[in-house]
Each structure stands twice: as C-alpha cells, then as structure tokens.
Structure 1
Amino acid sequence: MGWPPRSTISARPWVNSRTSSGLANDLCSTTWVMATCVPPLDGMGYAYLLIGKLSMGSFRPRIRGVRDGLEPTGTAARILDVAERLVQSRGFNGFSYADVASELGVTKASLHYHFPGKAELGEALIDRYARRFGEALEGIDAECADPRQKLDRYAQLYALVLKDQRMCLCGMLAADYATLPTAMRQAVVRFFDENQAWLQKVLEEGQEQGTLHYESSAAGEAQLIIGALEGAMLVARPYGDTDRFEATARRLLATLSA
C-alpha cells in the first residue's frame, strides 16, 4: 500500500502536549492518513490520535472540566477566573498561558490539559460570561416590572464591572476582533445580539406602557444604548472615574423618559 493511504480525517493533541501553536486546529482542515497513532512531531511535543471520517473543520478539542450548559468547576474554573480578569484588564492579546500559569502556580501543560489552545480558552470565557450575563438579565426581569428600572439596572451591570477596574469582557474582545479566531468572533457578536434583543424587548414594553419614549425603532435604540455604554466605559477607564460613566448612563436613560 502506498503512503499515505487516502482518507480524510481529523487530529487532536494528547493532553500532555506542552506547546500552544494552534497546530491542532490547523490539522483539522488537512487530509491525513488513516491510522491509530503517529509519533510526536519533532520539537513540538505533540502526538496525534487520528480519527477517521470526521468532516474537515468539524473537530472541537475536548475542554476538561467544562460540560455543555454547565459552569466549569475545579481547576478549569480557576483558570477561567484568572484569564477573564486578564482579558478584562489587558485584552485577549495582552496575556499568555504563561501569565495564567504563573498566577495559579501550575505548569502550562496543566492549562493545555483543560484548554488545548488559547482559542478554546477564549470560547469558554465568552460562553461563561454570556451565560452569567444572561442570568443577570433574567434576574432583572424577575425583580423589576418598570422598564425604566430595568434599563437602570442594566447600566449598573456595566458600572459594577468598571468599579472592579475591569471592562466588559466582550467589549475588550471586540477591540481585538480582527485578530480573534472565527469561533470567538461569532461568540462576541452573539453576546451583543442577545443583549440587543433583551434591550429591544424592554424598550417595546416601555413604549407600550407609555413610560419610555424614543423616535427611532426599538432595535435602533437598543444598538445606541449598547454602543453608548461600552463607549462610556472606555472613556471613563483612563480617568479611573466610575462617576463619569454613571453620569453618561443617567443622561442617556433620561432621554428615554422625557
């Protein structure tokens, strides 16, 4: 038999891989040989288990400690906690696995065991952040009947993050958008779309009740609110002044009640 025999397959790194080159993901779109195992690649510390008949590009590395629809636990949660703070303060391109490993007192290999690459870590960060943000919005809906109060509570979510000397996670990722992997880009857009949909619903409720007034569409007004709050955070950040953000938010929301 000739080498390599033709078969379209995908590859995934063993959990003891020590590098984070993104090579595992690159291999997913390549035609490889049908086999059970191949030796490590020279100097890379990778060994690959080859799995036949997976569609190209469909491979998703397993993230240990993270189950679909559930909060990560244990070491995976600790990794996400540190990485989230670093992204919110430095941006996605402003930290490395070495930074996270140093803070946690673990090896980079341990990080790769839970999150095979930085792209997978980024997706997990957005997923958890969006889930928690969504739960906060559900809480606002449950606790507030007045649409004006809902909008005020929404703005407070941003203020609380800023008071902790952080930025909105997805706002920071949006600044790095051009360099993000495709899956992360899609997740960032999805986060803003979900927020816009919630705001649009609240604005429509307020218009129906006669408590909120705006000339544009509810969708357009929702876009304006998100953009204004994210922008107000950016401007307030170098001043270290949360009051600056809160003043902008109050003026913005006041225009809807006039």
Structure 2
Amino acid sequence: MTSTTYAPKAIEILDVAEMHMRRGGFDAISFRDIATQVGIKSASVHYHFPQKADLGEAVVNRYRDKILNYLGEPTSYTMVEAIEKLITLYETALTGSDSVCLCCVLGSEADTLPDKVAHEVNVYFTDLSAWARTALNPKGMTKDIDALATFTISVLQGAMTMSVAMNDNTQFTAAANLLKGQIQTEEFRQSLFKG
C-alpha cells in the first residue's frame, strides 16, 4: 500500500483533524479550530487540504494505512493470534484515546459524508475485512469465513462503542475475552471447519 508523504505541518493538521473526527464525526472538524490548535492561519490549512472533503479523505486514507501496517501480513498468524492482534488494535485505540475507531464513527454517518470520504471509509472496511478473512483462515479451511470476519470486527467495534458510551472499558474487555475464548473452544472450531 502506497502511503502519501506529508509535510510536518500537514501531519499536525491530520493529527488534530483525526482527533476531532474520532470524537465528533466529520462535522466536528473546522479549519478555523484546527488552525488555532496547530498554531497557523486557516488559509494554511487550506493550502495543504483545499476543501474539508480533501482533509477528511486524507485522514481516513492515512488511518487505513496505519491500521493495515500495524496488523501486518495476514498469512503470518494462526486464527487465535489474528484475534489477539485485532483485540490489541482496538484495545490500544480505546485505552489510548478514549474514543472509538475513526471509521466506526464515520461509518455510522456514511450516507451524509462527502462522496470521497464515504468511499475511503468503504475501502477501509473492505481492506480490514479482507485482512480478517485471510488471517482468520490461515489454511483456507474455514467455512463461512466472510461471516466470521464480519462477526469478529462487529463484536470488537460494538464493544468499543459501548465502552466509550458507558465510560467503562470493562465492556470491551468482557466481549473481547468471550470472543477469544469462544474461538479457542473445540466445539467452535469444529463448527468452522469442513468435514
């Protein structure tokens, strides 16, 4: 995946914009507010990202690259290791920023996003699902891998959202532990594999 190289000031703008978007969605970003936080004029934000949609697109694209780079090569994991990697990914975001996944926030408002931002959110979930399908099915034997990948991502994102909404990270921990424990049971494994 090709990553865009940004100037240091553009990186600061992206960092601030991502923080605002993770806490309040796409409408939470304001060029004036970002400029104030970064210590530049609003026109300088427009220099790097001419329109709000350009900024949103760049934030999501960079976020996707960061997540996929963190997850690494999906074929290098066992099913349990893949689940643990996903749990750590979401847990780190939750405990590190007290907010949900950027694309979870934006996905909930996809029908009102500018087309280019909505497209990037769609690509994020497409790529994350593809990673999960491969990583959760290392030997190509699992039945219903699409459902398993969707279920895994949905459980983690939903538990993360509940934890933030309830200000109680034990919601996420309980769901993640149950998910991991369920996948490790023999009964669950037998239900996944072709006879």
TM class by shorter chain equals 0.7 to 0.9
- Residues 225 and 206 (structure 1), Cα distance of their counterparts in 2 relative to 1, 3 Å cut: farther
Aligned amino acid, residue 248 of structure 1: A
- Whether 1:169 and 2:102 are equivalent positions in the alignment is yes
Q: Distance in 2 between matches of 1:155 and 1:141?
A: 17
Deviation for aligned residue 1:238: 2.1
Contact 1:167 1:233 in 2 (8 A): yes
Deviation for aligned residue 1:94: 2.0
- Whether 1:200 and 2:133 are equivalent positions in the alignment is yes
- Residues 206 and 159 (structure 1), Cα distance of their counterparts in 2 relative to 1, 3 Å cut: farther
Aligned amino acid, residue 153 of structure 1: K
Contact 1:71 1:128 in 2 (8 A): no
User: 2:153 matched to which residue of 1?
Assistant: 226
User: 1:148 matched to which residue of 2?
Assistant: 80
2:122 pairs, out of 186, 189, 202, with 189
Deviation for aligned residue 1:207: 6.8
User: Considering only CA atoms, is the larger Rg found in Structure 1 or Structure 2?
Assistant: 1
Deviation track 1:41-62 (CA, whole Å, cap 9, x = no partner) reads xxxxxxxxxxxxxxxxxxxxxx
Q: Distance in 2 between matches of 1:178 and 1:70?
A: 26
SS, match of residue 70 in structure 1: coil
Pairing 1:9-158 to 2, within 5 Å after superposition: 69-138=3-72, 145-158=77-90
Deviation for aligned residue 1:202: 1.7
Q: Give the TM-score taking structure 1 as reference length.
A: 0.66
The unaligned stretches of length 5 or more in structure 1 are 1-67, 209-213
The unaligned stretches of length 5 or more in structure 2 are 186-195
- Greater fraction of residues in helix: 2
Contact 1:88 1:168 in 2 (8 A): yes
Q: Distance in 1 between matches of 2:9 and 2:46?
A: 12
Q: Distance in 2 between matches of 1:158 and 1:140?
A: 17
User: 1:211 matched to which residue of 2?
Assistant: none
User: 2:192 matched to which residue of 1?
Assistant: none
Deviation for aligned residue 1:190: 0.9
Aligned amino acid, residue 73 of structure 1: A
When the two chains are superposed, the root-mean-square deviation of aligned CA atoms in Å is: 1.9
Q: Distance in 1 between matches of 2:172 and 2:39?
A: 36
Larger relative contact order (Cα-Cα within 8 Å, sequence gap ≥ 6): 2
Deviation for aligned residue 1:205: 1.4
Task: Work out the percentage of aligned pairs sharing the same amino acid.
Answer: 30
Q: Distance in 2 between matches of 1:230 and 1:71?
A: 29
Q: Distance in 1 between matches of 2:137 and 2:149?
A: 10
Deviation track 1:107-153 (CA, whole Å, cap 9, x = no partner) reads 111110110010000000011100111101116765xx432022111
User: 1:39 matched to which residue of 2?
Assistant: none
Q: Distance in 2 between matches of 1:220 and 1:199?
A: 11
- Whether 1:180 and 2:113 are equivalent positions in the alignment is yes
Aligned amino acid, residue 89 of structure 2: L
Instruction: Count matched residues.
Output: 183
